[in-house]
């Protein structure tokens, strides 16, 4: 499936979920939220209607789902729902913006299909949780989600990397693992073509990232074995 079609399908699901969580929303609001044109939103609405989603168009006010229509509720226990809310707060304190955004979108979909009593208690918990972080820590990287996809698809990446010394280098890597350090920095372990060896790179020092179309043969080394090589 083409990447554009995958994005469109994801947007259609997200629009349907959003309509369920809000009473009314306009095409302009949806276009801004999903960074597409208003005309694209009009086409999306027609697609959803053709698929049997009962969308109500209120002239001058926007779109809504016909009253009573709901996506099937997901059977989460209250403890499971609370765990998701807790993880949301932990992730919001993370340093990678792509992770914060992706998890927020996923959780919005899950919240929309929770049973009402579970949803109410989860929302209460969300309003009573606070994760404290070091005040000097700021969100710096935005590459985690892209690298996760490259790692699982075995695609090489090309990066412009700024070392601690300030030196800028250009590397082609085979993503191997992603680590979260005690300093709250995400780290990429990758096979570096320049050094012909595994190297570790801080995501907040990657200035440019490009996912290549070139695939690579998965490394037979496990993450546990990699750590063992570091102790040798």
pLDDT tier at 74, thresholds 50, 70, 90: low
pLDDT given at position 1: 45
Residue 220 has pLDDT above 80, yes or no: yes
Q: Are 188 and 223 in contact, with CB atoms under 8 Å apart?
A: no
pLDDT cut 70: percent of the chain above it: 88
Q: Are 191 and 174 in contact, with CB atoms under 8 Å apart?
A: yes
Answer left, alpha or beta for residue 166, where phi above 0 means left and psi between -120 and 50 means alpha.
left
Higher-pLDDT residue of 105, 177? 177
pLDDT given at position 87: 82
Alpha-carbon distance of 27 to 35, in angstroms, equals 12
- Contacts of 23-29 with C-beta under 8 Å, sequence gap 24+, read 23/64, 24/58, 24/61, 24/62, 24/63, 24/64, 25/62, 25/63, 25/64, 26/61, 26/62, 26/63, 27/62, 27/63, 29/62
Residue-wise pLDDT for 125-182, tens only, equals 878 877 766 655 555 788 988 999 899 999 999 999 999 999 999 999 999 999 987 6
- Mean pLDDT score across all residues of the chain: 84
pLDDT given at position 4: 67
Residue-wise pLDDT for 54-73, tens only, equals 888 887 788 888 876 665 55
pLDDT cut 90: percent of the chain above it: 34
What end-to-end distance do the CA atoms of the chain give, in Å?
44
Q: Are 175 and 190 in contact, with CB atoms under 8 Å apart?
A: yes
Higher-pLDDT residue of 94, 225? 225
């Amino acid at each position: 499936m083409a990447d554009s079609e995958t994005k469109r399908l994801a947007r259609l699901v997200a629009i349907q979920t959003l309509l369920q969580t809000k009473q009314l929303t306009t095409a302009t609001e949806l276009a801004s939220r999903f960074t597409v044109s208003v005309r694209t939103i009009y086409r999306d609405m027609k697609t959803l209607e053709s698929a049997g989603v009962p969308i109500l168009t209120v002239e001058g006010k926007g779109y809504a789902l016909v009253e009573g229509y709901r996506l099937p509720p997901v059977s989460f226990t209250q403890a499971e729902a609370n765990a998701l809310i807790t993880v949301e707060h932990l992730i919001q304190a993370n340093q990678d913006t792509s992770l914060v955004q992706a998890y927020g979108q996923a959780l919005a979909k899950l919240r929309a299909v929770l049973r009402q009593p579970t949803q109410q208690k989860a929302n209460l918990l969300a309003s009573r949780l606070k994760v404290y972080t070091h005040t000097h820590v700021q969100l710096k990287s935005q590459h985690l989600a892209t690298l996760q996809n490259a790692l699982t698809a075995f695609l090489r990446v090309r990066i412009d990397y700024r070392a601690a010394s300030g030196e800028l280098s250009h590397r082609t890597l085979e993503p191997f693992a992603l680590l979260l350090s005690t300093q709250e920095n995400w780290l990429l372990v990758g096979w570096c073509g320049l050094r012909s060896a595994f190297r570790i790179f801080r995501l907040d020092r990657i200035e440019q990232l490009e996912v290549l179309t070139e695939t690579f043969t998965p490394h037979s080394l496990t993450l546990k074995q990699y750590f063992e090589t570091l102790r040798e």
